[in-house]
Amino acid sequence: MNNKTIFPYRLFVEGVNDLHVVSSLCENHKLTENFNIEACGSDKNVIRQFKIAITNPAVYQRIGIMVDADNDVKGRWMQLVDILMKSGKYDCENLELPLDGLVLYPLNSCDAIIGIWIMPNNNLEGMLEDFVLQLVSSENVLMQKAESTLSELEAKEIQQYKRVHRSKAKVHTFLAWQDEPGRPMGQAITARVLNPDAEQARVFIDWLNKLYN
């Protein structure tokens, strides 16, 4: 997504990998380039920026946040709902997070429309890499080999990655075995090593379309 032009719509994401994955998906699906993506550097920073953006007088007309569930998707959701409730600008009674992402309209039309996507799929624990894993067919031989390799390392207890980062290890092992080994995830989407037309990618793009278009 072109970030040189400043638009009144903003998407806050955790890091540059998130930014490049979103940008590559948008480019592939020819999504209208009418919002800026801001990489905030961490989950804490992205939530802080989201809170500032919706509690201050409206600077952006539409505000999206994409943040990892990590090991507690319900806790992450409640953290964001608490921010929305305290702003007093949104009806949060019985508010639930749809599997296809939230688009929430304000009580006052002068305030921003809000979008929330919790990686990987608004339902499961995980992170960006768990989303990216869904862009590869379960029948892909190299991905199956990456899984068996990680399982073998874990059985021998010689892996060095933390359990919470297993999906990172799996994605980057898979990418290391491609032509031009070790492409970043965004470039791998552009090269179609990761499938931008996978079902989960289309659900995500539909959410962006609902929020910004």
* Cα dihedral sign, 200-201-202-206: positive
Q: What is the rounded CA–CA span in Å between residue 184 and residue 17?
A: 8
Mean pLDDT, the chain, integer? 95
Structure tokens belonging to residue 8: 């009144």
Q: Which of 50, 63, 61 is nearest to 14 (CA)?
A: 50
| Predicted local distance difference test score (pLDDT) of residue 25 | 98
Specify the amino acid at residue 70: D
Q: Does residue 59 have a pLDDT over 90? A: no
Segment 58-86 shows an average pLDDT of 95
DSSP tally for the chain: helices H, then strands E: 8, 5
- pTM here? 0.94
Range 37-47 average pLDDT: 97
Residue 7's pLDDT is 87
Size of the chain, expressed as the number of residues it contains: 213
What is the C-alpha to C-alpha distance for residues 40 and 162, in angstroms, rounded to an integer?
23
pLDDT confidence bin for 4, thresholds 50/70/90: low
- pLDDT above 60: residue 100: yes
First to last CA, the chain: 15
Q: Are the CB atoms for 38 and 9 separated by under 8 Å?
A: no
| Contact (CB, 8 A) for 37 and 3 | yes
- Average pLDDT rounded to a whole number, residues 111-126: 97
Angle, to 10 degrees, between the axis of helix 141-155 and the axis of helix 166-176? Answer: 130
